[in-house]
Structure 1
Amino acid sequence: MEAMTHPFIIQTLAALAGNPTLLGVDVILVATILSAVAALAVLTAIYAATTVKDPMAKRVKALNARREQLKAGIVASTNKRKKLNHQNQAADRVRSILSQFRMLQEDQIKVTQEKLMQAGIRSKELAYFIIFARFVLPVVLGLTAVVVVYLVDYFPEWGWIKKYGVTAFTILGAYKAPDIWLKNKISKRSDAIRKGLPDALDLLVICAEAGLTVDAAFNRVSKELGRAYPELGDEFGLTAIELGFLAERRQAFEHLARRVDLEAIRGVVTTMIQTEKYGTPLASALRVLSAEFRNERMMRAEEKAARLPAIMTIPLILFILPVLFIVILGPAACAISDNFINR
Structure 2
Amino acid sequence: METLLELVNQQLDNELYARYVVIGLVAAAALAFFLSLTVLITGLVTPFRQRVRVLTGHSGGKARSGDSRSKVLSSLDPLTKHLLPGKDWDKNKLHAQLVHAGFRTPSAISSLYALKVLLSISALGIAWMATSFNSKLTADKVLMICAGATYMGYILPNMVLDHLAKRRMRAIRNGFPDALDLLVVCVESGLGLTAALQRVGNELDVSHPELSGEMQLVNVEIRAGVNRIEALRGMAQRTGVEDIRGLVALLDQSVRFGSSIADTLRVYSEEFRDKRMQAAEEQAAKIGTKMIFPLTFCIWPGFFVVAIGPAILKVFEVFGR
Q: TM-score, normalised by structure 1?
A: 0.63
Q: Could you say which residue in structure 1 is the equivalent of 2:99?
A: 117
1:121 aligns to what SS in structure 2?
coil
1:324 aligns to what SS in structure 2?
helix
In the alignment, is the contact (CA less than 8 A) between 1:271 and 1:285 conserved in 2? Answer: yes
Which amino acid in structure 2 is aligned with residue 119 of structure 1? A
Q: Could you say which residue in structure 1 is the equivalent of 2:287?
A: 308
Q: Could you say which residue in structure 1 is the equivalent of 2:197?
A: 218
Q: Could you say which residue in structure 2 is the equivalent of 1:201?
A: 180
Which amino acid in structure 1 is aligned with residue 63 of structure 2? K
Which amino acid in structure 1 is aligned with residue 127 of structure 2? A
Question: Aligned equivalents of 1:131 and 1:113: distance in 2?
Answer: 12
Cα separation, partners in 2 of 1:81 and 1:289, compared to 1, 3 Å: same
Which amino acid in structure 1 is aligned with residue 134 of structure 2? Y
Which consecutive unaligned segments of at least 5 residues does structure 2 have?
1-56
In the alignment, is the contact (CA less than 8 A) between 1:253 and 1:273 conserved in 2? Answer: no
Write out per-residue CA displacement over residues 81-129 of structure 1, whole angstroms, 9 at most, x where no aligned residue: 5835995895865544444x47475835554443332112343333321
Of 269, 272, 288, 2:267 maps to 288
1:167 aligns to what SS in structure 2?
helix
Write out per-residue CA displacement over residues 290-341 of structure 1, whole angstroms, 9 at most, x where no aligned residue: 2333333333333333332333223222221222233334556667788x69
Q: Could you say which residue in structure 2 is the equivalent of 1:134?
A: 116
TM superposition shift of 1:260: 0.5
Instruction: State, as a whole percentage, how many aligned pairs show the same letter.
Output: 30
Which amino acid in structure 1 is aligned with residue 202 of structure 2? K
User: In the alignment, is residue 227 of structure 1 matched against residue 209 of structure 2?
Assistant: no
2:291 aligns to what SS in structure 1?
helix
Cα separation, partners in 2 of 1:323 and 1:211, compared to 1, 3 Å: same
TM superposition shift of 1:80: 5.0
Write out per-residue CA displacement over residues 53-79 of structure 1, whole angstroms, 9 at most, x where no aligned residue: xxxxxxxxxxxxxxxxxxxxxxxx999
TM superposition shift of 1:259: 0.8
Matches within 5 A, 1:166-177: 166-177=145-156
Which consecutive unaligned segments of at least 5 residues does structure 1 have?
1-76
Question: Aligned equivalents of 1:193 and 1:81: distance in 2?
Answer: 27
Question: Aligned equivalents of 1:257 and 1:314: distance in 2?
Answer: 38
TM superposition shift of 1:192: 1.2
Asked which structure has the greater RCO (Cα within 8 Å, sep 6+), the reply is: 1
Q: TM-score, normalised by structure 2?
A: 0.67
Cα separation, partners in 2 of 1:157 and 1:145, compared to 1, 3 Å: closer
Question: Aligned equivalents of 2:194 and 2:102: distance in 1?
Answer: 21
Matches within 5 A, 1:1-343: 80-81=60-61, 83-84=63-64, 87=68, 90=71, 93-99=75-81, 101=82, 103=84, 105=86, 107=88, 110-146=92-128, 148-149=130-131, 152=132, 154=134, 156=136, 160=140, 163=142, 165-330=144-309
Question: Aligned equivalents of 1:98 and 1:222: distance in 2?
Answer: 38
Question: Aligned equivalents of 1:193 and 1:245: distance in 2?
Answer: 24
Write out per-residue CA displacement over residues 165-195 of structure 1, whole angstroms, 9 at most, x where no aligned residue: 5333322222212221111111011111111
Cα separation, partners in 2 of 1:279 and 1:96, compared to 1, 3 Å: farther
Cα separation, partners in 2 of 1:239 and 1:110, compared to 1, 3 Å: same
Question: Aligned equivalents of 2:79 and 2:102: distance in 1?
Answer: 26
Question: Aligned equivalents of 1:78 and 1:157: distance in 2?
Answer: 50
Cα separation, partners in 2 of 1:326 and 1:255, compared to 1, 3 Å: same
Write out per-residue CA displacement over residues 177-230 of structure 1, whole angstroms, 9 at most, x where no aligned residue: 222111111101111111121221121111111121111111111122222222
Which amino acid in structure 1 is aligned with residue 178 of structure 2? D
Question: Aligned equivalents of 2:225 and 2:69: distance in 1?
Answer: 25
